[in-house]
C-alpha cells in the first residue's frame, strides 16, 4: 500500500511541475541579500509547492526593470516605492502586490559631519545613481531648498571614497556596509538617514502590471504567499539564508563576501518591520504611501494625487 | 610529619643539577634573547628589502604607464582635430610600452564631432601581445562618462589611478586605469586619455615574493580590497577588514589601518593560534600596499632547530652529570655508611666495631684515622673510667666509714643529760661533704657543763682529721683543766706543734657553772655566740676574738666571763650558718640569724630553736647547694642546781 502511495505522490509532483505556472520575476538590482526572501522561497521549493515555476532574473543594472516590465519581458518585478510611484505617475499602470520594506534605507553620506542636517549640504557635489533610482532624494533636497550639484554615476563607492564628491546617496544595507568594510571611518553624524526624518519613504515592494494582476489573481496570491514564507524563513535562519544567497551569487559569477551579505541581510530584515510593529506585515501602509504621494504632488502641483486603492492590489 | 630519607649522594646530586640547570637557564635566556633579536633584525631587514624591491618594481611599471599616457596626452591635445592620428597614438602606446594592456581616448558626450559617445579603445591580445585591436566603444550599454576611470579624474581635475575593476565591456580582465584629462586650447576638459594595466602582471611580482617556504604575500588597494592574494576568491571580493573579521588578535586591525593609510610597518600577530610576522610597504603613487606574511615557525626554523638540539644536549647532559655525580658521590660516601654503623655499634659499647677500608688519601682517610683514634681514646677512657670509678667507689666507701666514725665522736643523744634538770641542750652538725671540719662537744663534770663549737680550716678529709684531733684533745685537756682560756692555750700548743700542713681551727670553749649560771668562756677565732634571754633579748655575746688554734704556738687566750640567768640560752654555730648562700650569692648573715632567733617563741626548747633556724636557712638558700659544714649548739640554762 505504502509503495502505491509513494508512486502516486511522485506522479502528482511530476504533474504539478509539468503544469506549473511560469513566472519571470525581476528584482531591481544584481543578486545580493536584498532579495534573500525570493531566493529562499525558490531554493526551499515554496513557489513550486504552490504551483509556480519562478525564474528570478537579474537584468543589467544599466536598465530599469520597470521598462522591461512594460515591454513584457518580466511578469513580476521588485522595485522601490518612489521609483514605482514615479513610473505610475508617468503612465505605467502597475500595482503593488507585496511590500517587503517598511523603512527607508536611503541615506546621504557626507565627507564631514552634517552639523546642520541637510542644510550642511548646501552647494555640495552629491553623487547619485545614474539609473535614476531614488531620484526622490533630489526632490527632497529641492523641497528643503537646498542647492546641490548632482553627480550621476554608475555604481559602487569609489566615487565618494576618492574624494571627488562631497556626499553620496547610499543604501544602509549596501554602500554604507561597503564603505565601512574598507576601513574608512564613517561616523553616524556624517549620515543623514531618511528613515529618521519626515521623509521615511519605504523601499522595496513587488509590482505587476494591473492587467496581469487582474488576469492572474490566483497566481499573484500564490506568489505573494510563497514569497512571504521565504522572507519569514530567512528571518529565522540567517546563516542558512546567507549560504543560499552566496550560492545565487556564485551561479551568477558575482563576487561578494559572506560578511557583506550577512550584514546586508540583517539590515534588510531590520527594515522589514515598521517602527511601531513587532513583526513584518508585508503590506504597504497608507501613511507610508501618502508620504510619497504628498512629496510628488508638492514637486509637480499640476498632477493629481494617486489613490492608495488604485495603487495597491 | 614524616621526613623522607634522602641519601647524601641524592641531595648533593640534586643540588649540583639545580645549580648547573640554573646556570644553563640563565645562559640560554641570554643566548636566546640575543640570537632571537639578531635573527629577527636580519629577517626584518631581509623582508623589508624584498618588499621594497617588489614595490619598486610595481612602481616602475606604474610610472612607465603614467609616462606613456602623459606623453601621448600632449600629442593628442596638439592634434585634436586629426582623428586618424588617435589610432596611431594608441597603437604607439601599446607598442612602445609592454606594461600597458589597453589604452583609451574618450571625449565628453557631444564634444567630438557631435558624437554623444566617442571612445577609441586599443587592446593588446592576451595570447599574442604584439597583436593590437582598436574598437570604438560608448553607448547606453557602455556609458563610459559615468564610469570611475572617467568620472573621478574629471571631477578631481587631475591624473588618477582608478581602483582596480573588471571592465567587462572592454578588456574583460582585472585591471587598473591611469587617466589623464585632455584639454582644449582654453584649458577646458574635453575628454580623457587612459592607460590600463592588467593586475595579473603585479600578481606575479607580488606572489613571487616569498622569503620563506610557507610565506605568502598579498596586496591591498587604497580601499582595502585584496588585489593579490593566494586565495583568488578574495580578490576584489573581500576587503582586509571583512576577511579578518573573525580574527581575534587586535593587531590585525592595526595592520589593516596602517596599510590603507600607506604606512610602512612590521607586526607580529596570531593567525589561527600561530605566531606570524607581517611586513608591509606602500606604493604611494597608486595607494596600494604590499605585504608578506611569514610564519614564525618558518622564520625561526633553524633557530628553533638549534634550540631543540641545545635543549636535547643540555637535558641529556644534565642527566649524565646527575648519574655521574650521583655514582661518584655514592662511591666516595660509601664508607660513611660503615662509619655510621660503626658509630651505632660503638654507642652500644663495642669499641672494636670494624671500620671501612680507605685506600684514598683524602678527608675520608682522615675521618677513618680520627674515627680509629676516637675508638682507642674511648677504649682508654672507659678503662680509666672503670679504674677511677672503682677508686672513687672505694674512697666513697671509706669516706662513709669516716663519716660514721666522725659522727660517732660527737654526742648525739638528746636530751644528753636527762638526770640533769638545770640545763637542756641540743646540737646539729650537717657536713657539706661526706666528712666535715666542724665539731661540737659537751659534757658535764661535777657541777660544770663543758661545751665547745669549732670549725677546722678547709673541708673534707684534712679538715675532718683536724676536727678529730681537736675533738680528742678537747676531751683529754678538759680532763684536768677547767679554764676555757687554758683549755684553748693547751689545745693551740698541741695543734701548732705538729701543724706541718699550716692548718688551723676556730674554737669557742665555755664552762657553765650549774650552781651559779656563771659562764666562763674563751674564743679561739670563732663566731661569737648569741645570748637569748627570757626578757626577749637576742644579742651576740661580747667576745675577744683572739686567734684561731694552730697558728701561733704559745699564744695567750683571753678568759672572759658572763652570767646566764635562769631561762637564758646560749646559741653557738659555725660560719656555715651565717655564710649560707642562696642562688643570688646573698649570705644568710648575722642580722638574719639574730632576727630568726628573736622570732623563736619558746627558747626553753633547744630543739625547736635549732629546727627553726635550720628551716629558715633552708628556706633562704632555696635549694642552693650547701657549700660549708653547718653546726649549731644551744644550751638552755633552766635552773640553778641549788634550787633542787
Over the stretch A62-117, which tens digit does the pLDDT of each residue have? Answer: 678 898 999 999 999 999 998 898 899 889 999 999 999 999 999 999 999 999 98
Residues of A in contact with B152 (CB under 8 A): 158-159, 162, 164
Strands (E), B432-577: 438-445, 448-456, 505-513, 518-524, 530-532, 538-540, 560-563, 569-573
pLDDT of residue A282: 96
Decide which of B633 and B40 is more confident. B633
Position B75 confidence tier, pLDDT thresholds 50, 70, 90: very high
Decide which of B365 and B182 is more confident. B182
Q: Which of B146, B225, B236 sits opposite A130 (nearest CB)?
A: B146
A166: closest CA of chain B, how far (Å): 11
CA B65, CA B73: separation in Å to the nearest integer? 12
CA B468, CA B462: separation in Å to the nearest integer? 10
Query: What is the DSSP pairing of strand A21-26 with strand A52-56?
Result: parallel
| pLDDT higher than threshold 90 for residue B431 | no
B284 neighbors B203 (Cβ within 8 angstroms): no
Are residues A152 and A122 part of one domain? yes
Is the CB of B143 less than 8 angstroms away from the CB of A256?
no
HEC assignment per residue over B451-490: EEEEEECCCHHHHHHHHHHHHHHHHHHCCCCCCHHHHHHH
Q: Tell me the β-bridge partners of B279.
A: B266, B292
- Of A168, A196, A224, which closes a domain? A196
CA B365, CA B488: separation in Å to the nearest integer? 71
A251: closest CA of chain B, how far (Å): 14
Residue pLDDT, tens place only, B151-171:
999 999 999 999 999 877 666
CA B52, CA B284: separation in Å to the nearest integer? 12
Mutate one of B152, B243, B252 to test the A interface: name it (highest A CB count within 10 A): B152
pLDDT > 70: percent of chain B: 98
What is the average per-residue pLDDT within B196-219? 89
Instruction: In chain B, list all ranges with CATH 3.30.450.20.
Output: 8-59+202-301, 63-198
B295 neighbors B274 (Cβ within 8 angstroms): yes
* Non-local CB neighbours of B636 within 8 Å, separated by 6+ positions: B423, B424, B425, B567, B568, B569, B603, B604, B605, B606
| pLDDT higher than threshold 90 for residue B367 | no
Q: Tell me the β-bridge partners of B278.
A: B267, B293
Residues of B in contact with A157 (CB under 8 A): 223
Report the residue of chain A nearest B153, measured CA to CA: A164
Q: CATH for B8-59+202-301, among 1.20.1370.20, 1.10.10.10, 3.40.640.10, 3.30.450.20?
A: 3.30.450.20
Is the CB of A183 less than 8 angstroms away from the CB of B245?
no
Residue A52 lies in a domain: yes
What is the average per-residue pLDDT within A174-182? 94
Residues 266-325 of B with CB under 8 A from A: none
Residue pLDDT, tens place only, B517-561:
999 999 999 999 999 998 888 999 999 888 899 888 889 999 999
B80 neighbors B68 (Cβ within 8 angstroms): no
Is the CB of B224 less than 8 angstroms away from the CB of A181?
yes
Position A31 confidence tier, pLDDT thresholds 50, 70, 90: very high
In eight-state DSSP terms, residue A219 is H
Is the CB of A256 less than 8 angstroms away from the CB of B237?
yes
pLDDT of residue B170: 65
Of A226-230, A266-270, B192-196, B382-386, the range with the lowest mean pLDDT is B382-386
CA B552, CA B495: separation in Å to the nearest integer? 10
CA B452, CA B442: separation in Å to the nearest integer? 6
Question: Which value, to the nearest 10 degrees, does the dihedral of the CA atoms of residues B227, B228, B229, B231 take?
Answer: 70
Residues of A in contact with B239 (CB under 8 A): 181-183
Is the CB of B241 less than 8 angstroms away from the CB of A182?
yes
Is the CB of A257 less than 8 angstroms away from the CB of B242?
yes
Q: Which of A164, A181, A183 sits opposite B155 (nearest CB)?
A: A164
Place of cell 590585525: B252
CA A291, CA A280: separation in Å to the nearest integer? 20
Residue A116 lies in a domain: yes
Is the CB of B224 less than 8 angstroms away from the CB of A154?
no
Query: Up-side HSE of residue B108: CA atoms within 13 Å toward CB?
Result: 12
Are residues A150 and A8 part of one domain? no
CA B6, CA B12: separation in Å to the nearest integer? 10
B321: closest CA of chain A, how far (Å): 59
| pLDDT higher than threshold 50 for residue B472 | yes
| pLDDT higher than threshold 60 for residue B470 | yes
Are residues A137 and A24 part of one domain? no
Q: How many Cβ atoms from other residues are within 10 Å of residue B287's Cβ?
A: 17
B351 neighbors B382 (Cβ within 8 angstroms): yes
CA B264, CA B478: separation in Å to the nearest integer? 132
Are residues A153 and A99 part of one domain? no
Share the mean pLDDT of chain A: 88
Q: Which of B151, B224, B235 sits opposite A159 (nearest CB)?
A: B151
| pLDDT higher than threshold 60 for residue B424 | yes
CA B324, CA B622: separation in Å to the nearest integer? 65
A259: closest CA of chain B, how far (Å): 6
CA B160, CA B285: separation in Å to the nearest integer? 10
Residue pLDDT, tens place only, B457-467:
887 788 888 88
Residue A283 lies in a domain: no
What is the average per-residue pLDDT within B116-121? 92
Residue pLDDT, tens place only, B574-588:
999 999 998 888 999
CA A149, CA A123: separation in Å to the nearest integer? 7
Listed residue (B440, B454, B443, B450) closest to B523, CA to CA: B454
CA B414, CA B440: separation in Å to the nearest integer? 14
Q: Which residues of chain A have a Cβ shorter than 8 Å from any chain B Cβ?
A: 60, 62, 125, 130, 151-154, 156-159, 161-165, 181-184, 255-257, 259-260
pLDDT of residue B345: 86
Are residues A94 and A6 part of one domain? yes
- Of A151, A177, A196, which closes a domain? A196
Are residues A181 and A131 part of one domain? yes
Residue A230 lies in a domain: yes
**H or E stretch at B307:** helix B301-347
What is the average per-residue pLDDT within B598-609? 88
| pLDDT higher than threshold 70 for residue A225 | yes
pLDDT of residue B93: 95
| pLDDT higher than threshold 50 for residue A135 | yes
Listed residue (A95, A35, A66) closest to A256, CA to CA: A35
Listed residue (B324, B34, B11, B288) closest to B164, CA to CA: B288
Position B278 confidence tier, pLDDT thresholds 50, 70, 90: very high
Are residues A158 and A220 part of one domain? no
pLDDT > 70: percent of chain A: 90
B606 neighbors B600 (Cβ within 8 angstroms): no
- Tell me the count of A-B CB pairs closer than 8 A: 76
Position A133 confidence tier, pLDDT thresholds 50, 70, 90: low
Residues of A in contact with B238 (CB under 8 A): 257, 259
Report the residue of chain A nearest B258, measured CA to CA: A183
Residues of B in contact with A163 (CB under 8 A): 156
Whether cis (ω within 30° of 0) applies to the bond prior to B415 is yes
Residue A150 lies in a domain: yes
Question: B157: which 3 cell numbers?
Answer: 581635475
Q: How many Cβ atoms from other residues are within 10 Å of residue B419's Cβ?
A: 6
What is the average per-residue pLDDT within B348-353? 81
Is the CB of A158 less than 8 angstroms away from the CB of B152?
yes
Is the CB of B223 less than 8 angstroms away from the CB of A184?
yes
CA B281, CA B266: separation in Å to the nearest integer? 9
Question: B359: which 3 cell numbers?
Answer: 685506600
Q: How many Cβ atoms from other residues are within 10 Å of residue A286's Cβ?
A: 11
Are residues A97 and A111 part of one domain? no
pLDDT of residue A8: 47
Q: For B369-405, b where at least 16 C-beta lie within 10 A, e where not — what string?
A: eebeeebeeeeeeeeeeeeeeeeeeeeeeebeebbee
Question: Angle of helix A81-89 relative to helix A286-299, nearest 10 degrees?
Answer: 50
pLDDT of residue B365: 84
Residues of A in contact with B236 (CB under 8 A): 255
Are residues A119 and A55 part of one domain? no
Is the CB of B224 less than 8 angstroms away from the CB of A183?
yes
pLDDT of residue B190: 95
Superfamily of the domain at B63-198: PAS domain (3.30.450.20)
- Of A196, A226, A242, which closes a domain? A196
SS3 B586: coil
ipTM score of the complex? Answer: 0.84
Residues of A in contact with B225 (CB under 8 A): 182
The CA radius of gyration of chain B, in Å to the nearest whole number, is 65
pLDDT of residue B226: 94
Listed residue (B118, B123, B189, B185) closest to B160, CA to CA: B189
CA A159, CA B423: separation in Å to the nearest integer? 147
Q: Which of B146, B235, B242 sits opposite A259 (nearest CB)?
A: B242
Report the residue of chain A nearest B139, measured CA to CA: A62
Report the residue of chain A nearest B232, measured CA to CA: A255
Are residues A230 and A154 part of one domain? no
**H or E stretch at B175:** strand B174-183
Q: Tell me the β-bridge partners of B137.
A: B119
Q: Which of A153, A182, A184 sits opposite B151 (nearest CB)?
A: A153
Are residues A236 and A93 part of one domain? yes
Is the CB of A162 less than 8 angstroms away from the CB of B224?
no
Instruction: In chain B, list all ranges with CATH 3.60.40.10.
Output: 411-643
pLDDT of residue B347: 82
Give how many domains chain A has, as a whole number.
Answer: 2
B71: closest CA of chain A, how far (Å): 25
Give residue A113's domain range: 106-196
Share the mean pLDDT of chain B: 88
A183 neighbors A77 (Cβ within 8 angstroms): no
Q: Which of B143, B160, B224 sits opposite A130 (nearest CB)?
A: B143
Is the CB of B238 less than 8 angstroms away from the CB of A257?
yes
Residue pLDDT, tens place only, A231-274:
999 999 999 999 999 999 989 888 778 999 999 999 999 999 99
Of A24-28, B99-103, B230-234, the range with the lowest mean pLDDT is B230-234
Q: How many Cβ atoms from other residues are within 10 Å of residue B3's Cβ?
A: 5
pLDDT of residue B592: 92
- Any idea what the CATH number is for the domain that residue A94 is in? 3.40.190.10
pLDDT of residue A61: 63
The CATH class, in words, for B411-643 is: alpha beta
Q: How many Cβ atoms from other residues are within 10 Å of residue B366's Cβ?
A: 11
CA B172, CA B121: separation in Å to the nearest integer? 13
CA A184, CA B163: separation in Å to the nearest integer? 15
Are residues A166 and A89 part of one domain? no
Sheet bearing B569-573, strands edge to edge: B423-430, B630-637, B569-573, B530-532, B538-540
Question: B68: which 3 cell numbers?
Answer: 606613456
Decide which of B406 and B578 is more confident. B578
Is the CB of A161 less than 8 angstroms away from the CB of B223?
yes
Is the CB of A154 less than 8 angstroms away from the CB of B257?
no
What is the average per-residue pLDDT within B222-229? 94
Mutate one of B139, B147, B150, B151 to test the A interface: name it (highest A CB count within 10 A): B151
Amino acid at each position: 500500500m505504502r509503495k502505491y502511495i509513494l508512486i502516486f505522490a511522485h506522479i502528482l509532483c511530476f504533474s504539478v511541475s509539468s503544469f506549473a505556472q511560469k513566472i519571470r520575476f525581476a528584482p531591481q538590482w544584481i543578486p545580493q541579500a536584498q532579495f534573500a526572501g525570493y531566493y529562499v522561497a525558490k531554493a526551499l521549493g515554496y513557489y513550486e509547492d504552490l504551483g509556480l515555476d519562478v525564474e528570478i532574473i537579474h537584468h543589467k543594472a544599466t536598465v530599469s526593470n520597470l521598462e522591461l516590465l512594460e515591454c513584457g519581458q518580466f511578469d513580476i518585478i521588485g522595485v522601490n516605492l518612489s521609483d514605482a510611484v514615479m513610473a505610475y505617475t508617468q503612465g505605467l499602470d502597475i500595482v503593488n502586490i507585496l511590500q517587503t520594506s517598511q523603512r527607508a534605507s536611503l541615506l546621504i553620506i557626507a565627507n564631514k559631519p552634517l552639523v546642520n542636517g541637510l542644510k550642511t549640504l548646501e552647494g555640495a557635489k552629491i553623487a547619485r545613481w545614474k539609473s535614476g533610482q531614488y531620484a526622490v532624494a533630489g526632490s527632497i533636497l529641492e523641497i528643503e531648498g537646498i542647492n546641490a550639484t548632482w553627480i550621476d554615476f554608475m555604481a559602487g563607492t569609489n566615487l565618494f571614497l576618492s574624494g571627488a564628491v562631497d556626499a553620496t546617496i547610499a543604501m544602509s544595507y549596501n554602500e554604507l556596509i561597503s564603505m565601512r568594510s574598507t576601513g574608512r571611518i564613517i561616523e553616524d553624524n556624517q549620515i543623514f538617514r531618511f528613515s529618521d526624518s519626515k521623509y521615511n519613504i519605504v523601499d522595496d515592494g513587488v509590482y505587476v502590471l494591473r492587467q496581469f494582476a487582474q488576469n492572474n489573481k490566483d497566481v499573484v496570491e500564490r506568489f505573494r504567499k510563497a514569497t512571504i514564507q521565504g522572507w519569514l524563513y530567512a528571518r529565522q535562519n540567517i546563516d542558512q539564508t546567507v549560504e543560499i544567497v552566496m550560492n545565487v551569487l556564485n551561479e551568477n559569477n558575482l563576487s561578494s563576501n559572506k560578511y557583506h551579505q550577512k550584514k546586508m541581510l540583517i539590515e534588510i530584515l531590520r527594515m522589514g518591520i515598521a517602527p511601531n510593529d513587532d513583526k513584518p506585515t508585508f503590506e504597504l501602509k497608507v501613511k507610508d504611501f501618502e508620504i510619497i504621494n504628498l512629496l510628488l504632488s508638492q514637486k509637480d502641483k499640476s498632477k493629481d494625487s494617486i489613490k492608495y486603492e488604485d495603487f495597491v492590489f | 610529619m614524616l621526613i623522607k630519607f634522602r641519601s647524601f649522594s641524592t641531595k648533593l646530586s640534586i643540588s649540583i643539577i639545580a645549580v648547573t640547570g640554573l646556570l644553563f637557564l640563565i645562559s640560554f635566556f641570554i643566548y636566546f634573547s640575543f640570537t632571537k633579536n639578531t635573527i629577527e633584525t636580519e629577517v626584518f631587514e631581509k623582508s623589508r628589502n624584498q618588499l621594497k624591491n617588489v614595490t619598486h618594481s610595481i612602481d616602475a611599471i606604474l610610472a612607465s604607464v603614467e609616462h606613456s599616457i602623459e606623453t601621448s596626452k600632449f600629442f593628442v591635445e596638439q592634434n585634436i582635430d586629426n582623428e586618424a592620428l588617435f589610432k596611431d597614438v594608441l597603437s604607439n602606446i601599446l607598442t612602445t610600452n609592454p606594461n600597458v594592456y589597453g589604452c583609451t581616448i574618450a571625449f565628453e558626450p557631444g564634444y567630438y564631432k557631435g558624437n554623444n559617445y566617442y571612445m577609441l579603445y586599443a587592446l593588446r591580445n592576451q595570447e599574442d601581445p604584439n597583436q593590437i585591436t582598436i574598437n570604438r566603444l560608448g553607448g547606453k550599454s557602455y556609458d563610459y562618462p559615468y564610469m570611475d576611470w572617467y568620472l573621478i579624474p574629471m571631477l578631481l581635475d587631475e591624473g588618477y589611478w582608478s581602483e582596480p575593476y573588471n571592465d567587462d565591456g572592454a578588456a574583460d580582465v582585472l585591471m587598473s586605469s591611469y587617466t589623464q584629462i585632455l584639454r582644449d586650447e582654453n584649458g577646458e576638459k574635453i575628454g580623457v586619455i587612459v592607460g590600463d594595466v592588467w593586475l595579473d602582471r603585479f600578481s606575479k611580482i607580488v606572489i613571487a615574493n616569498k622569503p620563506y617556504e610557507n610565506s605568502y604575500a598579498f596586496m591591498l588597494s587604497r580601499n582595502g580590497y585584496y588585489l593579490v592574494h593566494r586565495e583568488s576568491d578574495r580578490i576584489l571580493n573581500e576587503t582586509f577588514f571583512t576577511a579578518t573579521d573573525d580574527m581575534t588578535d587586535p593587531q590585525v586591525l592595526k595592520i589593516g589601518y596602517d596599510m590603507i593609510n600607506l604606512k610602512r610597518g612590521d607586526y607580529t600577530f596570531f593567525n589561527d593560534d600561530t605566531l606570524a610576522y607581517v611586513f608591509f610597504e606602500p606604493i604611494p603613487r597608486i595607494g596600494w600596499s604590499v605585504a608578506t606574511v611569514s610564519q614564525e615557525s618558518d622564520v625561526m626554523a633553524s633557530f628553533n632547530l638549534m634550540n631543540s638540539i641545545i635543549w636535547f644536549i643540555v637535558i641529556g647532559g644534565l642527566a649524565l652529570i646527575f648519574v655521574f655525580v650521583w655514582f661518584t658521590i655514592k662511591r666516595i660516601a660509601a664508607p660513611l655508611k660503615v662509619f655510621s654503623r660503626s658509630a651505632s655499634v660503638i654507642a652500644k659499647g663495642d669499641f672494636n666495631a670494624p671500620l671501612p677500608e680507605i685506600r684514598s688519601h683524602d678527608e675520608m682517610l682522615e675521618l677513618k684515622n680520627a674515627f680509629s683514634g676516637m675508638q682507642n681514646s674511648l677504649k682508654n677512657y672507659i678503662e680509666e673510667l672503670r679504674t677511677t670509678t672503682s677508686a672513687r667507689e672505694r674512697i666513697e666507701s671509706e669516706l662513709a666509714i669516716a663519716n660514721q666514725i666522725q659522727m660517732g665522736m660527737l654526742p648525739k643523744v638528746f636530751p644528753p643529760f636527762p638526770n640533769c634538770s638545770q640545763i637542756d641542750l641540743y646540737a646539729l652538725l650537717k657536713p657539706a661533704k661526706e666528712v666535715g671540719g666542724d665539731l661540737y662537744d659537751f659534757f658535764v663534770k661535777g657541777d660544770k657543763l663543758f661545751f665547745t663549737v669549732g670549725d677546722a680550716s678547709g673541708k673534707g678529709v684534712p679538715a675532718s682529721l683536724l676536727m678529730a684531733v681537736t675533738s680528742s684533745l678537747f676531751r683529754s685537756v678538759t680532763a684536768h683543766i677547767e679554764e676555757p682560756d687554758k683549755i684553748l692555750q693547751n689545745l693551740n700548743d698541741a695543734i701548732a706543734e705538729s701543724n706541718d700542713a699550716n692548718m688551723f681551727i676556730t674554737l669557742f670553749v665555755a664552762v657553765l657553772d650549774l650552781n651559779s649560771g656563771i659562764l666562763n668562756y674563751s674564743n679561739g677565732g670563732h663566731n661569737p655566740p648569741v645570748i637569748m634571754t627570757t626578757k626577749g633579748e637576742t644579742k651576740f655575746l661580747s667576745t675577744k676574738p683572739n686567734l684561731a688554734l694552730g697558728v701561733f704556738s704559745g699564744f695567750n687566750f683571753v678568759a672572759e666571763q658572763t652570767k646566764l640567768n635562769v631561762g637564758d640560752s646560749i646559741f653557738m654555730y659555725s660560719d656555715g650558718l651565717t655564710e649560707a648562700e642562696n642562688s643570688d650569692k646573698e649570705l644568710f648573715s648575722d642580722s638574719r640569724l639574730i632576727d630568726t632567733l628573736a622570732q623563736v617563741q619558746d627558747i626553753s626548747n633547744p630543739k625547736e630553736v635549732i629546727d627553726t633556724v635550720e628551716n629558715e636557712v633552708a628556706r633562704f638558700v632555696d635549694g642552693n647547694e650547701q657549700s660549708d659544714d653547718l653546726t649549731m649548739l644551744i644550751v638552755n640554762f633552766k635552773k640553778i642546781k641549788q634550787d633542787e
